[in-house]
Amino acid sequence: MRGPENPGIVIECGARPLGSGRTQRLFSWAQSPALLIRGGRVVDPSQGLDQTADLLVIDGRVAGIGTELAAPHGTAVFDARDLVVAPGLVDVHVHLRDPGFPEKETLETGAVAAATGGFTAICCMPNTEPPLDTPERVADVITRSRGLPVRVYPIGAISRGRQGLELADLGGMAEAGAIGFSDDGDSTRDSRVMRAALAWSARSGRPIMAHCEDRALAAGGVMHEGAVSRELGLPGIPAAAEEIILLRDLELARLTGGWLHVLHLTTARGRRLVRAAKLEGVRVTAEVMPHHLLLTDEWVAGRRRFVGEDRVFTGPCPDPHAKVNPPLRTEADARDLLAGLRDGTIDIIATDHAPHSERDKPDDLTRAAFGMIGLELALPLMLRLVARGELSLPELIDVLSTRPAALFGLPGGTLRPGSPADVVVFDPEATWQVERATLASRSCNTPLLGMELHGQAVLTMVDGKVVYVDTDAVAWRAGP
């Protein structure tokens, strides 16, 4: 990035070309101690801010927001006209497959995908091999995450070996740095173990993050049980499989006073259960995934239509990439979840980034793994709701950054002067094609493959360091 606007910025090319088309590269930027991000639409819900302004970063911290900031001599300038400048996105639910499945993702490739998607902090789930169920394994992830482009926070397992039968050493793992606990991928099988985990949560204040699924009811199912599963003749997973365990866990949270964080909520009835529990004073928070807001079970049948939109794109039928747990549900569920997000019943957006190799996604749905990637798709998917006026841009940044950071006590989520400069600059309109070559994640399992999306991060900064920059966009901006 050299040009009239940006004198003196040095880019050290640890570049990693990601393929044809847009050349997206990861840079380690020889640091200029001061950077002025000029003229963008600065959106920071933590300060009720939405205005065109400059953002000044000095020595890793936000130094100020305004129009006539006194920038020190030699300050590098990034031209952010027509771009949005916001606190970096925060994702409390990703699967990095590390240790155990480097062919799907690693801490490093996952962190690069996060930076590319505009995320500055991510929390990784413990369903690794071996699972993160001891203080040593939690500490190992923290040690190996040092120096990665984004902040990585491990989530420890609730139960030993994720078997759901014996409580793991939650205290030890918390001391080692686990930010929360989950048996994600499965529900914690033994209700007494779940009770003990939530009782521990009541004492420690740490979240218990629940994957709600009745094992026996869901067994064998590959998609939402309903009209489309019947049409395709595929075994279904009824909404009740989710709601039954959700209700159990809500009742256990009520009983213990512990903090239940409901992972990937997908049903309208589930939303009502969470809402009722909240009104009754149960300590519960909930997240919803962009794919459950915008995609439906129709996608499994290759009828790719975004919720609330008319156009139908044809995809493979059945599409193994649309197999995810919990499953893509109906349009009515998706609309209800959006209402829940808007009224605060659902607190945050997370991605459930769940990379799988091509081998794990055969065309035969009964053999395909559950999961889809999300880190690079969350922003463009959610921006559809903004484009349609169903969510404002400040509301979007609130649920993707400010709230998750505040809720889980993570850095970021704010551009308040003095805070660490975790920033995303994105182009809400940039058009790009979802292809293996345009994705930084090691896996490309998403039903959006081949589709055109709008909205993309242009620059991601963590702790004042530029960890991702879209060179094409920047070159275009800075001139020849």
Interacting residues with Zn ion (CB under 5 A) = 184, 211, 352
Q: Which two tokens stand for residue 12?
A: 């050290």
3 state DSSP class of 356? coil
Contact 372, 446 (CB under 8 A): yes
Applying CB under 6 A, does 325 fall inside the site for ligand NCD? yes
Closest approach of Cβ 81 to Zn ion, in Å?
38
> Which of the following is catalytic: 352, 398, 427, 470?
352
What length does the chain have? 480
Of 413-472, binders to ligand NCD (CB under 6 A) are none
Element holding 407 (H helix, E strand) = helix 403-408
Residue placing its CB nearer to ligand NCD in the complex, 22 or 93? 93
For ligand NCD, the binding residue among 185, 258, 404, 455 (CB under 6 A) is 185
For ligand NCD, the binding residue among 288, 324, 444, 453 (CB under 6 A) is 324
Residue 454 annotated as lining a ligand binding site: no
* Single-letter code of the amino acid located at 413: G
CA dihedral over 285, 109, 8, 30, signed as positive or negative: positive
Which of 1, 152, 11, 23 minimizes the C-alpha distance to 440? 23
Residue 479 annotated as lining a ligand binding site: no
Q: What angle do CA 241, 331, 379 make, to 5 degrees?
A: 95
Of 338-357, binders to ligand NCD (CB under 6 A) are 352, 354
On the CB side of 30, how many CA atoms lie within 13 Å of its CA?
Answer: 7
DSSP code for 402:
I
Q: Which two tokens stand for residue 457?
A: 């991060």
Closest approach of Cβ 178 to ligand NCD, in Å?
17
Applying CB under 6 A, does 127 fall inside the site for ligand NCD? yes
Query: Can you tell me which residue has the tokens 């190799």?
Result: 357
Which of 160, 168, 164, 243 minimizes the C-alpha distance to 206? 168
Instruction: Choose the contact partner of 229 out of ligand NCD, Zn ion, none; CB within 5 to 8 A by kind.
Output: none
Residue placing its CB nearer to ligand NCD in the complex, 185 or 315? 185
Residue placing its CB nearer to ligand NCD in the complex, 84 or 125? 125
Of 77-96, binders to ligand NCD (CB under 6 A) are 95
130 preceded by cis ω (within 30°)? yes
Instruction: Name the strands in the sheet holding 208-210, side by side, starting at the edge strand that comes first in the sequence.
Output: 181-182, 208-210, 260-262, 284-288, 348-349
Residue placing its CB nearer to ligand NCD in the complex, 258 or 371? 371
Residue placing its CB nearer to Zn ion in the complex, 289 or 458? 289
Residue 237: other Cβ atoms inside 10 A: 26
Is 140 part of the annotated catalytic residue set? no
Residue 325 annotated as lining a ligand binding site: yes
Residue 306 annotated as lining a ligand binding site: no
Residue 183 annotated as lining a ligand binding site: no
Which of 399, 396, 402, 368 minimizes the C-alpha distance to 384? 396
Of 204-263, binders to ligand NCD (CB under 6 A) are 211
Residue 403 annotated as lining a ligand binding site: no
Closest approach of Cβ 193 to ligand NCD, in Å?
18
Binding residues for Zn(2+), by number, are 93, 95, 184, 211, 264, 352
Kindly list the catalytic residues: 352
Chain contacts with ligand NCD (rule: CB under 6 A): 95, 127, 184-185, 211, 324-325, 352, 354, 370-371
